[in-house]
């Protein structure tokens, strides 16, 4: 691990100011409608303070404590995904000329450099997965390249978290510019890129004490003691468990609402649609997040390959934990647990995986 | 491509952006199937004519949307210039809108996308093209290609199955091929009207009758998945190696670049890793419910 420096809590604002002074729009965690979301941030006073959370299947609740920490919670519903793979965007516009010819205009707006404070290990890992998937996508890449990432080692994982067993957390492993480890009095700061090193050099910091190192280590150890773990299963064999009774059981509960795919930091499906202007001469071609739980996802001239919830849930799970490994060399799950918390009926995919590993009745 | 060897493959800066094509001709093949003959209007976009049999283009109707359409053939216009031929069945919102277009009208086009038939692997081998259903452009494209480069291939077996004998498209083309040397054409209709000169029954029954030389035959198969699976298994029983059997797959496609996720078939993105794929790669997933 690269050498860390110590930043007192009162100087966190200096880091924020430094980032903003470099021309970044800074986003950071803020409480909006009872959930923690990434929103434009100027001042540490906007950050949660002493806020903790309870997450359980189908449950997400915030609790105010007397603590001073800004990051004593695991994650909100939003990962980095909306910043790079935006929920809805125009890909290109077409224009019908008076002579009947068509003109096409690419629609890639130069993105504003964006810095994000408070990125978790699970979300950095998921961003790396999306980097792989969207490698040839100019819309994604342009936004991706303008991101500056300030990570936080997770000190307070939720009961739904299992990043320790996917090896993506609770600490920020890589893919960040700066990573902070929050202590009672301040932060240990380490750089993960040249940009991060350059920022760190401009901060008023000191050498951390042995006690500070120990505090960071012990809270990380504690954060690793998560209750949830990935069960044992063979990814390549998941798709062949096509007729397992576990699918019927989960399909009975699943509402096919697509919440899990919306909050999932790695889910990448999108649909394309056309939005013609009323003037009849212009039209824009757009894409927006889609879900394998949607009715039309498997539609092809009059036929749906997955007409029911069972087929759709099976597609999601076998892709995320099975065929993803074949596609990108690792599972598509980074253990953030969002799909568990934000499922309105509290389905836990780890339980489904466990069931799939058991012999059928 | 015959006569157009100068065309070079080139990657567009943004594969999501269409280019303009003008409709030169429109052929009504059946009540709901039509063929569009297209010319790309931008001289710098002519590299797209390097499309190979089995690949596809995304065709865009202004204000309506885009759909993936298999490449059928490269034809020629009055001046001997290459034109793209796409055969489309009017079944959905976009295809119906495309059906309403007339010559001189413009559409958008992007492509070519995907993996076509294994033309190099097929050289010096017998070709066996097995098709189920009507207007199967990927099959016609490989047959036309083989006849345009006849010396490169051995015997050509063509098996075409249709539900009803009245569905058969391009009948005169099949009759023409049947008269060519070193060529076998066999047709099957599940339901045959009086006067149907060919077989009445399933395609797999015709495969059994083929005088195949299994070790030197490459199979190109296109049609409904159960039919392709049954055909492939029958061919394997007749000693054709599984990896010499290629299928053209179909799924919902929106981006055509392997990003939108709709066309996933297990780990494969049919738009990018297919649509033409070797049977061993598909074998354990074909027939699985909902895959």
Give this complex's ipTM.
0.94
B115 vs B197, higher pLDDT:
B115
B65 and A CB contact within 8 Å = yes
Residue B8: is its pLDDT beyond 70?
no
B75 and A CB contact within 8 Å = no
Which of A137, A273, A306 has its CB closest to that of B259?
A137
Q: Would you state the pLDDT for residue B7?
A: 46
Structurally, chain B folds into a number of domains equal to: 2
Task: Kindly state whether residues B167 and B232 are assigned to the same domain.
Answer: yes
Q: How far is A197 from chain B (nearest CA, A)?
A: 34
Tell me the chain B residues in contact with residue A283 when contact means C-beta distances shorter than 8 Å.
62-63
Q: How far is B65 from chain A (nearest CA, A)?
A: 5
- The residue of chain A nearest to residue B249, with distances taken between CA atoms, is A300
- Three-point CA angle A39, A40, A45, nearest 5°: 90
Q: Would you state the pLDDT for residue B117?
A: 97
Tell me the chain A residues in contact with residue B275 when contact means C-beta distances shorter than 8 Å.
none
Looking at the domain assignment, is residue B107 inside a domain?
Answer: yes
Which domain, by its residues, includes B72?
2-113
- The residue of chain B nearest to residue A108, with distances taken between CA atoms, is B14
Task: Kindly state whether residues B208 and B162 are assigned to the same domain.
Answer: yes
Three-state SS sequence of A46-84: HCCCCEEEEEECCEEEEEECCCCCCCCCCCCCCCCHHHH
| Candidates B259, B281, B286, partner chain A, best to mutate (most A CBs within 10 A) | B259
Q: Would you state the pLDDT for residue A35?
A: 96
Q: How far is A346 from chain B (nearest CA, A)?
A: 24
HSE-up (13 A, CA, CB side) for residue B108:
30
Phi and psi based region of residue B111 (left: phi greater than 0; alpha: psi -120 to 50; beta: remaining):
left
Q: Do A239 and B290 touch (CB under 8 A)?
A: no
Whole-number Å distance between alpha carbons of B139 and B246: 11
B44 and A CB contact within 8 Å = no
Task: Kindly state whether residues B46 and B179 are assigned to the same domain.
Answer: no
Task: Kindly state whether residues B88 and B139 are assigned to the same domain.
Answer: no
A59: number of Cβ within 10 Å = 16
CB A170 within 8 A of CB A121: yes
Tell me the chain B residues in contact with residue A302 when contact means C-beta distances shorter than 8 Å.
91-92
Q: What is the mean pLDDT of residues B137-162?
A: 94
Q: Do B14 and A239 touch (CB under 8 A)?
A: no
Residue B11: is its pLDDT beyond 80?
no
Cα-Cα end-to-end distance for chain B: 35
Of A20, A268, A174, A291, residue with least CA distance to B269: A268
CB B47 within 8 A of CB B19: no
Residue A352: is its pLDDT beyond 50?
yes
Longest dimension (CA), chain A: 76
- Three-point CA angle A15, A17, A22, nearest 5°: 100
Whole-number Å distance between alpha carbons of B212 and B227: 19
Residue B9: is its pLDDT beyond 80?
no
Q: Using 50, 70 and 90 to split pLDDT, how confident is the model at B5? A: very low
Q: Would you state the pLDDT for residue B205?
A: 92
Q: Would you state the pLDDT for residue B168?
A: 83
Task: Kindly state whether residues B63 and B89 are assigned to the same domain.
Answer: yes
Whole-number Å distance between alpha carbons of A242 and A323: 13
pLDDT > 70 fraction of chain B, expressed in percent and rounded: 95
Token reading at B176: 């023409």
Q: Do B262 and A268 touch (CB under 8 A)?
A: no
Q: What is the mean pLDDT of residues A213-230?
A: 94
- Three-point CA angle B83, B86, B90, nearest 5°: 145
Compute the mean pLDDT over every residue in chain A, rounded to the nearest whole number: 95
Q: Do B251 and A292 touch (CB under 8 A)?
A: no
| Candidates A295, A305, A308, partner chain B, best to mutate (most B CBs within 10 A) | A305
- The residue of chain B nearest to residue A310, with distances taken between CA atoms, is B290
Tell me the chain A residues in contact with residue B65 when contact means C-beta distances shorter than 8 Å.
272-274, 285
Residue A88: is its pLDDT beyond 90?
yes
Compute the mean pLDDT over every residue in chain B, rounded to the nearest whole number: 92
Tell me the chain A residues in contact with residue B254 when contact means C-beta distances shorter than 8 Å.
270-272, 287
Q: Across the strands, what pairs with A189? A: A5, A180
- The residue of chain A nearest to residue B273, with distances taken between CA atoms, is A327
Domain boundaries of chain A, sorted by first residue: 4-225, 235-360
CB A62 within 8 A of CB A76: no
Q: Do A298 and B66 touch (CB under 8 A)?
A: no
Residue B135: is its pLDDT beyond 80?
no
CB B189 within 8 A of CB B162: yes
- Residue A173 phi, psi dihedral angles, 5° rounding: -85, -60
Q: Would you state the pLDDT for residue B70?
A: 95
Give the C-alpha distances (Å, rounded to integers) separating B28 from A34, A205, A355, B23, B99. Answer: 60, 76, 54, 14, 9
Token reading at A236: 């390549």
Residue A279: is its pLDDT beyond 60?
yes
Residue B83: is its pLDDT beyond 50?
yes
- The residue of chain A nearest to residue B92, with distances taken between CA atoms, is A301
Tell me the chain B residues in contact with residue A269 when contact means C-beta distances shorter than 8 Å.
260-262
Question: What is the bridge-based pairing of β-strands A270-276 and A282-289?
Answer: antiparallel
Task: Kindly state whether residues B35 and B166 are assigned to the same domain.
Answer: no
Binding residue per annotation — B220? Answer: no
Residues 6+ apart with CB under 8 A from B85: B35, B36, B37, B38, B71, B72, B73, B74, B75
Task: Kindly state whether residues B189 and B256 are assigned to the same domain.
Answer: yes
Tell me the chain A residues in contact with residue B41 when contact means C-beta distances shorter than 8 Å.
101
**Positive or negative torsion for Cα A128, A129, A133, A137:** negative
Q: Which of B88, B113, B138 is the last residue of a domain?
A: B113
Alpha helices per DSSP H over chain A: 12-21, 81-84, 121-133, 138-144, 163-166, 194-201, 210-224, 235-238, 245-253, 259-263, 309-318, 324-328, 338-341, 349-357
A223: number of Cβ within 10 Å = 21
Task: Kindly state whether residues B50 and B155 are assigned to the same domain.
Answer: no
B11 and A CB contact within 8 Å = no
Of A322, A324, A307, A319, residue with least CA distance to A256: A307
Torsion of CA A24, A29, A32, A33, to 10 degrees: 150
Residue B268: is its pLDDT beyond 60?
yes
Task: Kindly state whether residues B272 and B131 are assigned to the same domain.
Answer: yes
Task: Kindly state whether residues B59 and B81 are assigned to the same domain.
Answer: yes
Q: Which of B113, B137, B152 is the last residue of a domain?
A: B113
Binding residue per annotation — B255? Answer: yes
Of A309, A337, A354, residue with least CA distance to A154: A337
Residue B235: is its pLDDT beyond 60?
yes
Q: Across the strands, what pairs with B65? A: B61
Residues 6+ apart with CB under 8 A from B60: A94, A285, B18, B66, B107, B108, B109, B110
Which of A106, A297, A300 has its CB closest to that of B14?
A106
Question: Could you read off the pLDDT of A302-344 as tens digits, one per residue?
Answer: 889 999 999 999 999 999 999 999 999 999 999 999 999 999 9
Looking at the domain assignment, is residue B120 inside a domain?
Answer: no
Q: How far is B166 from chain A (nearest CA, A)?
A: 21
Q: Do B289 and A103 touch (CB under 8 A)?
A: no
B106 and A CB contact within 8 Å = yes
Q: Do A287 and B284 touch (CB under 8 A)?
A: no
HSE-up (13 A, CA, CB side) for residue A245:
4
Q: What is the mean pLDDT of residues A229-251?
A: 94
Question: Could you read off the pLDDT of A158-193 as tens digits, one per residue?
Answer: 999 999 999 999 999 999 999 999 999 999 999 999
B287 and A CB contact within 8 Å = no
pLDDT > 90 fraction of chain B, expressed in percent and rounded: 80
Residue A95: is its pLDDT beyond 70?
yes
Residue A1: is its pLDDT beyond 60?
no
Looking at the domain assignment, is residue B118 inside a domain?
Answer: no
Residues 6+ apart with CB under 8 A from A60: A35, A53, A54, A77, A341, A342
Question: Could you read off the pLDDT of A57-85 as tens digits, one per residue?
Answer: 999 999 999 999 999 999 999 999 999 99
Task: Kindly state whether residues B92 and B137 are assigned to the same domain.
Answer: no
Q: Do B18 and A92 touch (CB under 8 A)?
A: yes
Q: How far is B280 from chain A (nearest CA, A)?
A: 15
Which of B252, B259, B285 has its CB closest to that of A299?
B252
DSSP result, B166-205: GG--SHHHHHHHHTSTTEEEEEEEEE--TT--SEES-HHH
Question: Could you read off the pLDDT of B19-48 as tens digits, one per residue?
Answer: 999 999 999 998 889 999 999 999 999 999
CATH number for B270: 3.40.50.80
Binding residue per annotation — B271? Answer: yes
Q: Would you state the pLDDT for residue A111?
A: 86
Tell me the chain B residues in contact with residue A106 when contact means C-beta distances shorter than 8 Å.
14, 17
Token reading at B156: 């050509």
Q: How far is A318 from chain B (nearest CA, A)?
A: 8
Residues 6+ apart with CB under 8 A from B268: B274, B277, B281
Looking at the domain assignment, is residue B100 inside a domain?
Answer: yes
Task: Kindly state whether residues B106 and B133 are assigned to the same domain.
Answer: no
Q: Do B66 and A92 touch (CB under 8 A)?
A: no
Binding residue per annotation — B260? Answer: yes
């Amino acid at each position: 691990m690269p050498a860390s420096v110590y930043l007192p809590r009162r100087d966190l604002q200096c880091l924020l100011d430094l980032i903003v002074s470099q021309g970044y729009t800074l986003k950071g965690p803020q409480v909006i409608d009872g959930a923690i979301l990434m929103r434009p941030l100027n001042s540490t006073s906007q950050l949660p303070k002493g806020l903790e959370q309870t997450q359980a299947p189908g449950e997400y609740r915030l609790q105010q404590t007397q603590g001073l920490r800004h990051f004593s919670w695991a994650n909100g519903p939003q990962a980095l995904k909306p910043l790079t793979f935006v929920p809805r965007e125009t890909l290109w516009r077409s224009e019908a000329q008076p002579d009947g010819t068509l003109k096409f205009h690419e629609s890639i707006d130069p993105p504003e450099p964006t810095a994000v404070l408070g990125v978790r290990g699970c979300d950095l890992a998921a961003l790396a997965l999306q980097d792989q998937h969207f490698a040839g996508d100019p819309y994604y890449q342009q936004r991706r390249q303008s991101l500056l990432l300030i990570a936080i080692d997770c000190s307070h994982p939720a009961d739904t978290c299992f990043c320790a067993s996917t090896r993506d957390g609770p600490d920020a492993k890589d893919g960040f510019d700066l990573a902070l480890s929050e202590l009672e009095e301040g932060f240990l700061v380490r750089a993960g890129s040249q940009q991060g090193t350059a920022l760190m050099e401009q901060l008023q910091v000191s050498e951390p004490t042995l006690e500070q190192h120990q505090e960071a280590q012990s809270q990380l150890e504690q954060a690793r003691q998560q209750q949830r773990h990935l069960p044992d299963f063979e990814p390549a064999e998941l798709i062949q468990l096509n007729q397992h009774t576990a699918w019927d059981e989960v399909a009975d509960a699943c509402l096919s609402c697509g919440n899990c795919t919306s909050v999932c930091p790695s889910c990448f499906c999108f649909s394309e649609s056309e939005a013609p202007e009323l003037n009849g001469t212009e039209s824009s071609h757009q894409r927006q997040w889609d879900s394998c739980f949607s009715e039309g996802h498997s539609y092809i001239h009059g036929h749906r390959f997955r007409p029911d919830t069972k087929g759709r849930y099976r597609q999601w799970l076998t892709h995320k934990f099975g065929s993803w490994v074949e596609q990108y060399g690792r599972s598509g799950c980074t253990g953030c647990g969002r799909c568990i918390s934000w499922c309105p009926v509290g389905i836990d995919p780890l339980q489904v995986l466990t069931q799939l590993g058991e012999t059928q009745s | 491509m015959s006569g157009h060897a100068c065309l070079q493959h080139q990657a567009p800066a943004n594969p999501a952006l269409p280019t303009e094509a003008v409709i030169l001709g429109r052929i009504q093949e059946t009540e709901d199937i039509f063929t569009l003959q297209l010319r790309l209007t931008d001289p710098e976009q002519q590299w797209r004519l390097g499309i190979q049999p089995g690949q596809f283009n995304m065709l865009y109707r202004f204000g309506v949307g885009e759909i993936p359409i298999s490449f059928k053939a490269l034809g020629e216009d009055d001046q001997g210039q290459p034109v793209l031929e796409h055969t489309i069945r009017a079944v959905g919102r976009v295809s119906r809108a495309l059906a309403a277009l007339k010559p001189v009208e413009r559409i958008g086009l992007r492509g070519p996308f995907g993996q076509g038939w294994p033309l190099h692997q097929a050289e010096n081998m017998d070709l066996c093209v097995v098709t189920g259903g009507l207007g199967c452009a990927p099959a016609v494209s490989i047959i036309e290609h083989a006849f345009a480069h006849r010396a490169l291939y051995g015997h050509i077996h063509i098996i075409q199955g249709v539900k009803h004998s009245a569905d058969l498209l391009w009948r005169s083309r099949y009759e023409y091929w049947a008269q060519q040397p070193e060529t076998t054409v066999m047709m099957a209709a599940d339901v045959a009207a009086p006067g149907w000169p060919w077989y009445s029954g399933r395609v797999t029954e015709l495969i059994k009758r083929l005088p195949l030389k299994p070790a030197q035959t490459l199979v190109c198969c296109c049609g409904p998945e159960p039919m392709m699976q049954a055909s492939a298994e029958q061919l394997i029983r007749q000693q054709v190696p599984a990896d010499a059997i290629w299928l053209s797959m179909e799924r919902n496609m929106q981006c055509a670049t392997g990003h939108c996720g709709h066309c996933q078939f297990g780990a494969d993105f049919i738009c990018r890793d297919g649509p033409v794929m070797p049977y061993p790669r598909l074998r354990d997933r074909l027939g699985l419910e909902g895959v």
